[in-house]
């Protein structure tokens, strides 16, 4: 799960809003890897905070490199990929990493559609066409290989597991019996003590 040599990184901080959203992908990744970090939660992005953000958005990731070099990174996918690379959880080959990127991009495409689908007609289309299309694509990946990109887990598997739960949290009903490989993935990660602890402590939030 982690590299044999200790990464040259310390004083990790993650800042995000009081919700799951994009921040949960970073938080659960760090928790799974058992990396200590300061979880900074804000209720809103104040003008003073926004002025410090590269794109005026959250989440952001801050750390110290080599004991004295401050490092700040924005954009959820970039942050997750950086953490995964730093802790040897990104995949062993270029092909493995590319397959991980493919699935992670698909995850966010689906989440964005779920979040922005409001009216009933669009919701029916989402449930009957869009959702099965994406979940079947993920299921196919896990059927071909044990995990997203092969026989070993990468951060893409963890984020897929997280998204699978999050979609239901957002109010979308999933016919879980149709996706046995996704269910196996869920059972795999739900068995880790640090994941159990993380999920048990999740607060009730709006998103």
Domain co-membership, 78 together with 98: no
**pLDDT > 70 in the chain, percent:** 98
Q: Rounded distance, CA 140 to CA 144, Å? A: 6
* CATH number of the domain where residue 36 is located: 3.40.30.10
41 within domain boundaries:
yes
Average pLDDT over residues 94-108: 96
- Report pLDDT digits (tens) over 108-149: 999 999 999 989 999 999 999 999 999 999 999 999 999 999
- Note the pLDDT of residue 6: 72
- Note the pLDDT of residue 4: 47
Residues listed for the chain: 207
- pLDDT of residue 2 exceeding 80: no
Quote the mean pLDDT of the chain.
95
- Note the pLDDT of residue 7: 87
Domain co-membership, 78 together with 149: no
- Note the pLDDT of residue 64: 98
Domain co-membership, 148 together with 72: no
Number of domains in the chain: 2
Query: What is the chain written as a DSSP string?
Result: ---SSPPSEEEEEEEEESSSTTHHHHHHHHHHTT---EEEEESS--HHHHTTSTTS-S-EEEEEETTTEEEEEESHHHHHHHHHHHTT-S-SSHHHHHHHHHHHHHHHHHHHHHHH--SHHHHHHIIIIIHHHHHHHHHHHHHHSSBTTBSS--HHHHHHHHHHHHHHHTT----GGG-HHHHHHHHHHHTSHHHHHHHHTPPP---
- Helical pair 76-86 and 155-169, crossing angle rounded to 10 deg: 140
187 within domain boundaries:
yes
pTM of the model: 0.94
- pLDDT of residue 180 exceeding 60: yes
Domain co-membership, 108 together with 43: no
Q: Which domain holds residue 63?
A: 9-88
Do residues 159 and 91 touch, judged by C-beta distance below 8 A?
Answer: no
Domain co-membership, 125 together with 47: no
- Note the pLDDT of residue 5: 64
- Report pLDDT digits (tens) over 16-44: 999 999 999 999 999 999 999 999 999 99
Q: Rounded distance, CA 182 to CA 143, Å? A: 9
- Report pLDDT digits (tens) over 154-167: 999 999 999 999 99
Structure token digits, residue 183: 């269910």
- Note the pLDDT of residue 1: 47
Residue with tokens 């919700």: 19
Environment class of residue 162 by beta-carbon count within 10 Å: exposed (0-12), middle (13-18) or buried (19+)? buried
- Note the pLDDT of residue 118: 87
- Note the pLDDT of residue 82: 98
């Amino acid at each position: 799960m982690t590299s044999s040599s200790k990464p040259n990184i310390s004083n990790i901080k993650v800042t995000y809003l009081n919700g799951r959203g994009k921040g949960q992908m970073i938080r659960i990744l760090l928790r799974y890897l058992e990396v200590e970090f300061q979880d900074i939660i804000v209720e809103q992005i104040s003008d003073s905070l926004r002025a410090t953000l590269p794109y005026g958005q959250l989440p952001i990731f801050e750390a110290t490199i080599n004991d004295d070099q401050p490092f700040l990174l924005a954009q959820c996918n970039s942050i997750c990929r950086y953490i995964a690379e730093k802790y040897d959880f990104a995949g062993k080959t270029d092909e493995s990493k590319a397959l991980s990127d493919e699935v992670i991009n698909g995850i966010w495409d689906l989440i964005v559609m779920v979040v922005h689908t409001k009216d009933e007609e669009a919701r029916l289309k989402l449930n009957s066409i869009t959702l099965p299309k994406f979940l079947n694509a993920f299921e196919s990946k896990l059927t071909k290989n044990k995990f997203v990109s092969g026989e070993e887990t990468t951060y893409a598997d963890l984020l897929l597991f997280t998204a699978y739960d999050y979609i239901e949290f957002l109010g979308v009903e999933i016919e879980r019996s149709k996706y046995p490989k996704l269910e196996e993935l869920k059972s795999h990660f739900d068995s880790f003590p640090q994941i159990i602890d993380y999920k048990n402590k999740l607060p009730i939030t709006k998103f």
